[in-house]
Amino acid sequence: MFGITPSARLRPSPYFEATLADGVTAFTTYNHMLMPTSFGHPEEEYWRLLKGVSMWDVAVERQVQLAGPDAGRLAQILCTRDLSQCKVGQGKYVAICNHAGTLINDPILLKHDPNKYWLSIADSNIWFWARAIAAERGLDVEVSEPDVSPLALQGPKAEDVVASIFGDWIRTLKYFWFRETSIAGIPVAVARSGWSKQGGFEIYLMDGAQGTRLWNLVKEAGKPWDIGPGNPNFCERVESGLLSYGGDTDEATNPFEVRMGKYVDLNVADDVIGIKALRRIHAQGPTRHQLGVLLEGDEPTSFGFRWHPIRVDGSKVGDLTNCAWSYRLKKNIGFALISTRCAAGTPVEVSMEGRSVRGTLKELPFL
């Protein structure tokens, strides 16, 4: 692990000082911001997410706001999922593709009102994309970044903590739905969402000056449930089969290849970007798909920065796009982006740091 040099090109989160005070030890960069990746106790942080409640600085999930009379029209042009039934207060997981049908982001779309949407984005520049499309098509919509910074509470006890802060109404909030409210004068939106499969909420802070106050307020409220700091958990997300755009995708990945086919509605209007290409790809059938790989061996391995080639009978058939030590399976596991000729159950060999490691293809999720 190497140091990261401070730079004004990398924006700190409103929770930055609070996470420093709570002992953050490592970061990644995401959407030109810093995201905590460790508080120094990886296994403890994992079990806290699985059994209790963990709080995460996910301000890097930056918002692309579409506002104006054509906001809804632009949202639909950008997303391959049919949004015609999306209600105010509802969120939807969507695919954004380019004209060739290549996935360029997989955000949560939040519909605030018919003239205001947020795209809570993964790690790529959708402001540029949306502004280019809006301007070239002459749409009456402003694309901007509002002052919004999500804080996630994840784990089986997250609901109790969030209810203790905002009230029991949050217990009936449906998955991906959200509501604007406030706490101690701090304006927020609360959504049932988050990048884990352990359940939980995301509190969208709407005043960046209040980051430390909100962090400490949540920390205090969570004490009866033994809340502690964490971050999007690499092990849990691999076990749960959660996609990382940019980590598990490359410059040619389409949604069908990474289990996102259900977010492509082939009958949306022709002006939706990428839909014509996706109809062709769907008709021909994708050439790759995403499976799990269960590796042999009983010791944690390290993945590094690069994909690792996967071979069957000596021929390259795909890549291992991530690899984590599973605390539950006691094995190294990862995702394969691999030829559709290879099915679950197939034995494979993975080249990692000069070694060849044997494994077996599995359906996702692992757990």
Interacting residues with its own copies (CB under 8 A): 1-12, 16, 24-30, 32, 34, 37-38, 98-99, 104, 123-125, 128-129, 131-133, 135-137, 145, 244, 246-248, 251, 273, 302-307, 321-322
Q: Which is nearer to its own copies, 33 or 170 (CB)?
A: 33
Alpha-carbon dihedral 32, 35, 37, 38, rounded to 10 degrees: 140
Nearer to its own copies, 176 or 327 (CB): 327
Residue 15 is given by DSSP the state T
Identify which of residues 273 and 364 has a Cβ nearer to its own copies in the complex.
Answer: 273
Rounded distance between C-alpha atoms, residue 186 and residue 176, angstroms: 22
Three-state SS for 27-70 is EEEECCEEEEEECCCHHHHHHHHHHCCEEEECCCCCEEEEECCC
DSSP-derived 3-state class of residue 87: coil
How many CA atoms lie within 13 Å of 258's alpha carbon, on the beta-carbon side?
27
When the beta carbons of 321 and 346 are compared against its own copies, the nearer one is 321
- The backbone torsions φ and ψ at residue 224, rounded to the nearest 5 degrees and listed phi first, read -60, -20
Work out how close the CB of 265 gets to its own copies at its nearest, in angstroms, rounded to a whole number: 21
Token couple for 276: 């014509």
Nearest CB to its own copies, comparing residues 56 and 307: 307
Looking at beta carbons only, is 159 or 254 nearer to its own copies?
Answer: 254
Question: Shortest distance, CB of residue 285 to its own copies, whole angstroms?
Answer: 24
Looking at the Cβ atoms of 221 and 258, the one nearer to its own copies is: 258
Smallest separation, CB 111 to its own copies (Å): 23
Nearest residue (CB) to its own copies, 74 versus 170: 74
CB of 224 to its own copies, least distance (A): 31
Read off the tokens for 355: 């070694």
C-alpha distances in Å from residue 194, one per residue of 35, 40, 60, 120, 146: 15, 22, 13, 11, 20
Give min distance, CB of 195 to its own copies, in A: 14
Task: Transcribe 233-247 into DSSP letters.
Answer: -HHHHHHTT---TTT
Question: 155-194 burial string, b = 16+ CB within 10 Å, else e?
Answer: bebbbbbbeebbeeebeebeebbbeebebeebebbbbbbb
Cα gap 326→330, rounded to integer Å = 5
* CB 182 to its own copies: min, Å: 26
φ and ψ of 147, to 5 deg: -80, 85
Pick 284 or 302: Cβ nearer its own copies: 302
Tell me which amino acid residue 171 is: R
Quote the least distance from Cβ 338 to its own copies, whole Å: 15
Residue 129: CB minimum distance to its own copies, A: 5
Between 93 and 129, name the residue whose CB sits nearer to its own copies.
Answer: 129
d(CA 18, CA 303): 29
Three-class secondary structure of residue 201 per DSSP: strand
Q: Taking the complex as a whole, how short is the minimal distance between the CB of residue 239 and its own copies, in angstroms?
A: 17
- Give me the least distance between CB of 316 and its own copies, in Å please: 15
